[in-house]
Amino acid sequence: MVSVSPRLKDCLEDDELESVDPRFVLGFRSVSLGSSGYEEYETEDGSLQTVRPWSAGGSIANKKKRQLRQSNQRLERLDTFNYRTCADGDLFRLFELFPGTGTQPIEGRLDFEHSRSVERDYTCLSYCWETVERETDIICDGFRFPVTSNLLAALRCLRNKSHSLHIWIDQICINQDDLNERSHQVSIMQHIFSKAKDVIVWLGEEDDKSGKLCELARKMRRGDDSPKQSGTLKRILNPRQLQDAIQKLLQRPWFQRVWVVPEVALARFTIVQIGHDQISWDNFVRLIKDVPFPKTGGFDKQIALLGNPRQRIAIISQMSASQKEGLRHTDITTLLILAKGSKATEIRDFVFAFYGLTWLRTFPNYRISIELLYAEIIQLYVNSIRWDTSYSTLHGLTDEKRTQQLMSILYSAGALHQHHTLPSWIPDWTFSWHLAPVWCKTVANLATTSGKDEWSAGVRSDFRAGGNECGEFEIIEGLNGMHKLRVSAILLDVVLITSETTPASTPGGERDASMEPDSTLRYGRVFYRTGNGYIGIATPGVQAGDDIAVLLGGDVPVVLRECENHDAHTRAYKLLCETFLQDESVMHGEIARSGWTVAEEIVLI
């Protein structure tokens, strides 16, 4: 039997075969039995392999392999890129991403743009390095330029097949080895991101039903909760699948990176991209807004810790609304919550990342020591909040908000929560949140879309141990920039014993059953009993002889450890941590209201 093409005349009787069926024309490759008419390619072991046209699938795969090999060979022949200029003044670099498809090398060139008078439309890329190792390469200005694998994947998805794109990418547009240039570029980051036509958030390649999530987000309509609409959406992802997909999405590294906060907050318009799928930031927020996390049996970091993914998204969205309205409501409480809940390769970025979001104007310096940087920035904030009238006016600070921000500094600090050698009242940004907070809530107020600081009203705790009025709060000059802090405190009691389980009350001491801490607050903490019979929980490291104190204006009590002080008139202490007492009169301020006259000035060192 002869198999013939249905598109050719089926005739084998004509002597002029060539004129009837071109398959029989001499040289027609489909019937040549020799290999000389076929393409040959070199396999990995060096042998030659013939590409036969009837193996269509193999031919396509081999063609892609050959193209990839040729691309790699081209890259290997190129010299490594070196920055020949410095980005200074108001200048920054833009990467022009050339058109391309498939396995073609990512190729482009660098050019300068003016941060205050932008001439070209460009996009900023917000992504996660994931590693400092640059495992792969692109071509920049005709040279081989090492990049991380995650950036290469993003550029392949962003690249257009017909026209160039201008993109700002920190890994390419900043000479990361030049500390002076890095410092300067950070100082103008506000202009770079606010002048871009949009910011693309690259969450990574498609996985874990992320494509279905994007489809669902695009089909959601604001305010449409009709059964028909709900049924349509459920056919894309059922409720359990939706919960799991969102939880896995929020666990991606991008949500832990410190630089993503200003990158989105300063953007005119934000696009979330997963693989080749894109949705707007607003659609992304609506997608996760009302979907709860699946319940877990133990301590859930995605709900219990400050700076958890949902809270981060809520605060970033509010900060973005503030910037669009020309407001600067970003306060130290916000920055502490977000920064200590983030990760950064360069730990100075826990501070520098927020320079473009506040009115505090100091020049980033990557050569300064960590200890001095962290101490200086807190001193700057304390003095601005406490004494600078223009700062309070610009941030809309009432006396109550001013007190709340000052106290949030102390609750973010403590000698038991520090990696670096710092005064105990200075927060260490490298020490991330690891315990459920007592001093504030971890809720995500995703409903806030205005520029006002409405989210903070729902974040502050319900406790008012020290009342609403701040007492003394003054920085005292110290050696080498390591200053002390004078505060007003009611020294309440002394720790008698610590225990892994709830200790029994002392005779005559009353235990308030209504104030039992829940399992989330107890997680990771130890119990203690005081000389007067109070039962409390605190960070491990608290020991017998430590003092329990209420700071005037503070929301919750703190644990202090007395230190030697050369000033005989003032007692000096190390601040250890916040604490929770199982006593309503203490936690809700009755003790402070009745005993504020016995408050004394102490020094935290």
Q: What is the mean pLDDT of residues 218-238?
A: 65
For residue 146, the model assigns a pLDDT of 96
Share of the chain above pLDDT 90, in %: 56
Cα separation, 374 vs 368, whole angstroms: 10
Q: What is the mean pLDDT of residues 342-347?
A: 91
For residue 328, the model assigns a pLDDT of 60
Q: Which residues pair with 143 in a beta bridge?
A: 140
Q: Which residues pair with 485 in a beta bridge?
A: 475, 604
457 has pLDDT over 70: no
What SS3 string covers 438-496?
A: CCECCCCCCCCCCCCCCHHHHHECCCCCCCCCCCCEEEECCHHHCCEEEEEEEEEEEEE
38 has pLDDT over 70: no
- Rg of the chain over Cα atoms, rounded to whole angstroms, equals 31
Q: What is the mean pLDDT of residues 450-457?
A: 60
Cα separation, 26 vs 5, whole angstroms: 18
376 has pLDDT over 70: yes
Share of the chain above pLDDT 70, in %: 82
Q: Which residues pair with 474 in a beta bridge?
A: 486
Of the pLDDT bands very low, low, confident and very high (cuts 50, 70, 90), residue 480 is confident
| Chain-centroid distance, C-alpha 256 | 4
Cα separation, 156 vs 144, whole angstroms: 16
Q: Between 44 and 332, where is the model more confident? A: 332
Neighbours of 431 (CB within 10 A): 17
For residue 94, the model assigns a pLDDT of 97
Cα separation, 467 vs 589, whole angstroms: 6
Q: What is the mean pLDDT of residues 114-143?
A: 93
For residue 56, the model assigns a pLDDT of 47
List Cβ neighbours of 525 (8 Å cut-off, separation of 6 or more): 435, 537, 538, 539, 540
Q: 105-114, 496-505, 520-529: which range is least confident on average?
A: 496-505
User: Nearest 5 degrees, angle CA 565-CA 379-CA 340?
Assistant: 105
Count of residues in the chain: 605
List Cβ neighbours of 443 (8 Å cut-off, separation of 6 or more): 311, 458, 459
Q: What is the DSSP track for 541-553?
A: TB-TTPEEEEETT
Q: What is the DSSP track for 314-328?
A: HHHHHHHHHHHTT--
434 has pLDDT over 80: yes
57 has pLDDT over 90: no
Structure tokens, 365:
């310096």
Specify whether the CB–CB gap between 557 and 465 falls below 8 A: yes
Of the pLDDT bands very low, low, confident and very high (cuts 50, 70, 90), residue 321 is confident
For residue 33, the model assigns a pLDDT of 44
Q: Which residues pair with 547 in a beta bridge?
A: 494, 560
HSE at residue 467, side-chain half, CA atoms within 13 A, is 15
- Each residue's pLDDT tens digit, 560-573: 999 987 666 789 99
Specify whether the CB–CB gap between 260 and 417 falls below 8 A: no
Neighbours of 327 (CB within 10 A): 17
User: Nearest 5 degrees, angle CA 528-CA 546-CA 604?
Assistant: 135
169 has pLDDT over 60: yes
CA distances from 41 to 65, 71, 588 (A): 10, 15, 80
Q: 50-54, 65-69, 443-447: which range is least confident on average?
A: 50-54
What is the residue-averaged pLDDT of the chain?
Answer: 84
427 has pLDDT over 90: yes
Structure tokens, 134:
């640059």
List Cβ neighbours of 34 (8 Å cut-off, separation of 6 or more): none
Give the burial class of 284: count Cβ atoms within 10 A of its Cβ; 0-12 exposed, 13-18 middle, 19 or more buried.
buried
Of the pLDDT bands very low, low, confident and very high (cuts 50, 70, 90), residue 181 is very high
First to last CA, the chain: 97
Cα separation, 421 vs 415, whole angstroms: 9
- Among 23-37, 59-73, 488-502, 512-526, the range of highest mean pLDDT: 488-502
Q: What is the mean pLDDT of residues 183-187?
A: 92
Q: Between 585 and 223, where is the model more confident? A: 585
Q: What is the mean pLDDT of residues 343-370?
A: 87
Of the pLDDT bands very low, low, confident and very high (cuts 50, 70, 90), residue 454 is low
Q: 110-114, 125-129, 493-497, 507-511: which range is least confident on average?
A: 507-511
Q: What is the mean pLDDT of residues 541-551?
A: 97
Q: What is the mean pLDDT of residues 323-349?
A: 84
160 has pLDDT over 70: yes
Specify whether the CB–CB gap between 542 and 498 falls below 8 A: yes
Q: Collapsing DSSP states into helix, strand and coil, what is residue 35?
A: coil
Q: What is the mean pLDDT of residues 100-116?
A: 92
Q: Collapsing DSSP states into helix, strand and coil, what is residue 139?
A: strand
For residue 236, the model assigns a pLDDT of 87
Specify whether the CB–CB gap between 263 and 254 falls below 8 A: no
Structure tokens, 249:
């999405």
CA distances from 583 to 119, 362, 560, 594 (A): 63, 44, 19, 15
170 has pLDDT over 90: yes
Of the pLDDT bands very low, low, confident and very high (cuts 50, 70, 90), residue 287 is confident
Q: Collapsing DSSP states into helix, strand and coil, what is residue 367?
A: coil
